[in-house]
Structure 1
């Protein structure tokens, strides 16, 4: 980045004899303006260091992240909008929705097929309302896939392919650590495993639609397109990545899977930041969930 220095400009002063009486009284101003011109030409060391620091951060961001600095939402409303999503949509539907379904069906325990179909319907409702919320709180038109400025987007398919290989390696390492600390049973989702192993064709199809289509779309829109993009506009993209990944892992309310979820969030965030296209992290998220479901069989 080239930093331009503004040079002060002092109009040429004519000889005293050439000045008309009307302007002769302004001659005294030249002795006042000249010291100011000298001051304006001197650079403050603190301003220089600050400019260099900002330039370094911007160059670092441009080397990896291509996320746009401007966002379609008001910065002061970011956390309030996220709070509405978390406490009015995510927690009631994702964690209390099955209880509501069981209450209306008068069944204390839902069978696997009813359970997975109910989860799919609840997630679809959550996705639709979330898109409606983010569209209506945006100050301008929002493209949910594109998170970068025009001309800066990178190959999203390449980003997904590279991210998938790295994600599998990272999750394999974290799985070993979790198994050593908490045991293998704690690291697995036993309810999903039961549905995949014992469920009928309808149950399995609904399970794959839920975890490979609807859930990735919902989580990528919320935690990458909305939260990561918004945080990266107010701080460095690295800090935004860590913050959004921590929130992503915590929003699952799964202590035994927190480390893996945080690692997954970081990889998905890096993929999205590098490509500037949500399709990359969405595809990566779907492939990872599909691989996990197949591994349960």
Structure 2
């Protein structure tokens, strides 16, 4: 059971066990590692299950319908969603879990919840890996800047792949 939070908005503060570290370095390393792991899991899935279509027809239709919808989609997908999800899953959930258990267990649990909340069975493993990298970057830096940047870049890459496919 999580300890009650004594202060409102405690989740915006760094985790006690972490020191403030370079979030730009963490973002760069985290994003590079994320792309590598997603690529490797995609290769493995292609070999085990067979290739899957990366095209999201609904998202592609929104992107191609007008410039306004394209801009709105980019803003929602690359800015609003990462801000909201990182505040909830890393800032609130991971911080709360880390106050009651070891940080690496908290990362695993919050990543599993993050992955399950996306309701994508075929992408569960990749989303779990994404959640783990975002959680580790949060624990390492002690703030939400790094996971927000990594999440935004990941969503931008996903959007570009969808647009080009």
TM over 0.5: yes
* Aligned partner (choices 99, 113, 116) of residue 233 of structure 1: 99
By relative contact order (CA 8 Å, sep 6+), the higher-ranking structure is 2
Q: Which has the larger radius of gyration?
A: 1
* Aligned partner (choices 35, 43, 52) of residue 184 of structure 1: 52
**Quick one: structure 1 residues 243 and 182, their matched pair in 2 at CA, closer, same or farther if it must change by over 3 Å?**
farther
- List runs of 5+ in structure 2 lacking aligned partners: none
* Aligned partner (choices 110, 123, 133) of residue 257 of structure 1: 123
CA–CA distance in 2 between the matches of 1:232 and 1:167? 22
Q: Is the 8 A contact 1:272 1:278 kept in 2?
A: yes
- List runs of 5+ in structure 1 lacking aligned partners: 1-73, 78-137
State the partner residue of 2:28.
Answer: 161
User: Does 1:142 find its partner at 2:69?
Assistant: no
State the SS of the aligned residue for 2:121: coil
State the partner residue of 1:276.
Answer: 142
Q: Is the 8 A contact 1:213 1:286 kept in 2?
A: yes
CA–CA distance in 2 between the matches of 1:139 and 1:188? 45
- The offset of 1:144, in angstroms, is 5.0
RMSD of Structure 2 on Structure 1 (CA): 2.1
User: Does 1:75 find its partner at 2:16?
Assistant: no
Within 5 Å, give how 1:119-138 maps onto structure 2: none
CA–CA distance in 2 between the matches of 1:145 and 1:156? 15
Deviation string, structure 1 residues 105-161 (Cα, Å, up to 9, x no partner): xxxxxxxxxxxxxxxxxxxxxxxxxxxxxxxxx531426543234992111111101
Structure-1-length-normalised TM-score: 0.51
